[in-house]
Amino acid sequence: MDRPLTRNIKPKAEPLWLVEYEKVGGYESVRKALQTMTPQEVQKLVTESTLRGRGGAGFPTGKKWSFVPMGPDAPRPKYLVVNADEMEPGTFKDRLLLEGDPHQMIESMIVSAYAIQADVGYIFLRMEYGVAAARLRKAIKEARAKGYLGRHLLGSDFSFEIYLHTSAGRYICGEETALLNALEGKRAIPRAKPPFPQVVGLWGKPTIVQNVETLCNVPHIITHGAEWYRRLSRGKDGGTKIYGVSGNVKRPGSWELPMGTSIREILEGHAGGMRDGFAFRGLLPGGASTAMLVEEHLDLPMDFESIPQAGSRMGTGTMIVLDDQTCPVGFAQNLEHFFAQESCGWCTPCWEGLSWTERILQSLEDGQGRMDEIDVLTMHTKLLAPGRTFCALAPGAMDPLQSLLKYCRADFERHIHEKRCPWRDGRNGADGARTWPVSSSMIVPTR
Amino acid sequence: MLSDAERAEIEEELSHYPDNQAGSVEALKVVQRHRGWVSDESLKSVAALLGMTSAELDSVATFYNLIFRKPVGRHVIFLCDSISCWVCGCDAMRNSLQNRLGISMGQTTLDGRFTLLPIVCLGACDRAPTMMVNDDLHEDLTAEKINRVLEQYP
């Protein structure tokens, strides 16, 4: 079995429901963990597997769990929260897992909750994933009826319940602590850290927040062991990874591959390379908040250790390709428009800096930019660097910008010298505005 | 005033949390499913049920782009404007929709049939450009496909 996460997933098909899911070994990890292992042994196994978080930050999962207070004196209830708020532009991997194998998600939560002795689990799902919501509800119902959820699971001392929470938009809800505020029914503004959620989280209780794909690895680690898991990978970090490619390539899509598969193999092998008439210029390796890589980086393995060597991050592992028919300044403008719109407005460098950045990029696109404004953009990449804002949203917005300024500087300058966007008369039409004037919350009255 | 059905659905959601305020987003969405949007009057009723002030609940409601505090059309079109869809030509799709419906982004058609809104990445980037109409995802959009899709929403 070389692709454990997606083994049950067939395109456009119904997922496996409980009976079929059990037939292919589903919920075996729950039996194994609850009947033969202590919570500490499960934690130890996950640590040995070298599993790292797949939501973007790559934090070692076993280490994260080790901060949770254990034993009879630990504060209760403890919570396990699944971050299923997939909203990083260019990312489409968790949707696949949630829609394609909902019981795998539930099984993952049960064994992970056992490891940290959580009492209640929430799936924090973005509202737009309606198909996933319906399938998760059905899976939770089936699991509850079969005794995999509720009091004294499989006759053990362990009790666990899962609830689905569907949100209502806003990218910032995917930030770990903003998510906790959202779940508590407050405005989704990030919290100060420390204290970390593992100790003081949801309603002040110990809480683990974990990405969908990360958790889905856990049952397989428990069933097949850490050694097996590490060997799935070609690199230092264990397991497989769901990689994706979008943009003007021949076969955009997502594939579960060994961790550490090279960018070139994903881009040229699986995605088929560029579409006819399009040449490669660069790619954001793991979503909108990762710095662009170029041709010279294509042989790097896609893993947590290698991509930072080129000044970027693996992020979510889903790549966005920039081609020669697409304006790099417009590309930057679209990204910064997103981040400016999605800033929660809590800290000034973020809301003020991102709006300013967006406005400058728009004026460059409109042919009204000045050379000194490139310096203002560069200044922002430093003013909004990690540690200078309340959370990681603004630094994440600056990573693609600084890399575009580095690799496509001539294109920025050309917009200023020619007083126009050289791409505008091309494929995208000469219609002018590249941004849309309103955000989703600004519904205007009927004319 | 909330209907019995709305009240029952909200109470079901509240049973999932140790604290009523946590149910506020789900409660607002219950009202929105029944009425299309959340009026000041509905907001007041939900706030009373949750034990919050209207101002507190409104501060939550207005944080989210998918809670509508103004009336919308019978069907809401959400066109993705994030990076992968932009690279794959969502501007042309926007023009198509605007021309076909005779409205700009953020507006509602005079007959109250459609409201047109932008939305962030829908997580279907390999099938860009994409949009949602109400709860339904539509992928690999072209101007022709948009015309066909809109026919499904009378």
B78 touches chain A (CB under 8 A): yes
Instruction: Please list every residue in chain A whose beta carbon sits closer than 8 Å to the beta carbon of residue B118.
Output: 436, 438-440
pLDDT digits (tens, 9 = 90+) for A201-257: 999 999 999 999 999 999 999 999 999 999 999 999 999 999 999 999 999 999 999
Q: CATH number of the domain that B117 lies in?
A: 3.40.30.10
B92 and B146 together in one domain:
yes
Q: Do domains A18-231 and A240-321 have the same CATH topology?
A: no
Q: What is the complex's ipTM, to 2 decimals? A: 0.97
Residue B143 lies in a domain: yes
Q: Which of residues B18, B35, B61 is at a domain's end?
A: B61
B18 and B85 together in one domain:
no
B26 and A321 within 8 Å at the Cβ level: the answer is: no
Indicate whether A433 pLDDT > 70.
no
> How many structural domains is chain B composed of?
2
- Give the residue from B133, B137, B68 showing the smallest Cα distance to B101: B133
A404-422 mean pLDDT: 97
B133 and B101 together in one domain:
yes
Indicate whether A428 pLDDT > 90.
no
Residue percentage of chain A with pLDDT more than 90: 93
**A292/A294 Cα distance (integer angstroms):** 7
- Name the architecture of domain A328-418: Up-down Bundle (1.20)
Task: Give which of A87, A91, A334 to mutate to test B binding, by max B Cβ within 10 Å.
Answer: A334
B83 and B145 together in one domain:
yes
Domain of residue B118 covers 75-151
Query: Which of A428, A434, A440 has its CB closest to that of B118?
Result: A440
Residue B114 lies in a domain: yes
Residue B68 lies in a domain: no
Q: Which of residues B18, B37, B61 is at a domain's end?
A: B61
Paired sense of beta strands B131-133 and B75-80, if any: antiparallel
B144 and B79 together in one domain:
yes
B80 and B146 together in one domain:
yes
Q: Which of residues B61, B83, B109 is at a domain's end?
A: B61
B81 and A446 within 8 Å at the Cβ level: the answer is: no
- Rounded to a whole number of angstroms, the CA Rg of chain A reads 23
B59 and A245 within 8 Å at the Cβ level: the answer is: no
Determine the pLDDT at residue A1.
74
B91 and A247 within 8 Å at the Cβ level: the answer is: no
Instruction: Please list every residue in chain A whose beta carbon sits closer than 8 Å to the beta carbon of residue B46.
Output: none
**B149/B138 Cα distance (integer angstroms):** 8
B98 and B126 together in one domain:
yes
Residue B83 lies in a domain: yes
Query: Which of B23, B83, B87 has its CB closest to that of A248?
Result: B87
B126 and A246 within 8 Å at the Cβ level: the answer is: yes
**A148/A11 Cα distance (integer angstroms):** 27
CATH code of domain A18-231: 3.40.50.11540
Q: CATH number of the domain that B34 lies in?
A: 1.10.10
One-letter-per-residue 3-state SS of A265-332: HHHHHHCCCECCCCCEEEEEECECCCCCECHHHCCCECCCCCHHHHCCCCCCCEEEEEECCCCHHHHH
Residue B12 lies in a domain: yes
Which of the four pLDDT bands, split at 50, 70 and 90, describes residue A442? low
Residue B96 lies in a domain: yes
Instruction: Please list every residue in chain B whose beta carbon sits closer than 8 Å to the beta carbon of residue A133.
Output: none
CATH domain A240-321 topology: Ubiquitin-like (UB roll) (3.10.20)
Q: Going residue by residue through chain B, which has 154 residues, state the pLDDT in tens, using 9 for 90 and above.
A: 899 999 999 999 999 999 999 999 999 999 999 999 999 999 999 999 999 999 999 999 999 999 999 999 999 999 999 999 999 999 999 999 999 999 999 999 999 999 999 999 999 999 999 999 999 999 999 999 999 999 999 9
Indicate whether A447 pLDDT > 70.
no
Residue B14 lies in a domain: yes
For residue B116, what is the nearest residue in chain A, using CA coordinates? A443
Give bridge partners of residue A163 from the DSSP assignment. A122
CA distances from B37 to A439, B2, B72 (A): 17, 13, 7
CA distances from A258 to A1, A57, A88, A301, A302 (A): 12, 19, 22, 10, 9
Query: Which of B94, B120, B126 has its CB closest to that of A253?
Result: B126
Indicate whether A142 pLDDT > 60.
yes
The domains of chain A are located at 18-231, 240-321, 328-418
B143 and B85 together in one domain:
yes
- Give the residue from A338, A328, A332, A336 showing the smallest Cα distance to A421: A328
B62 touches chain A (CB under 8 A): yes
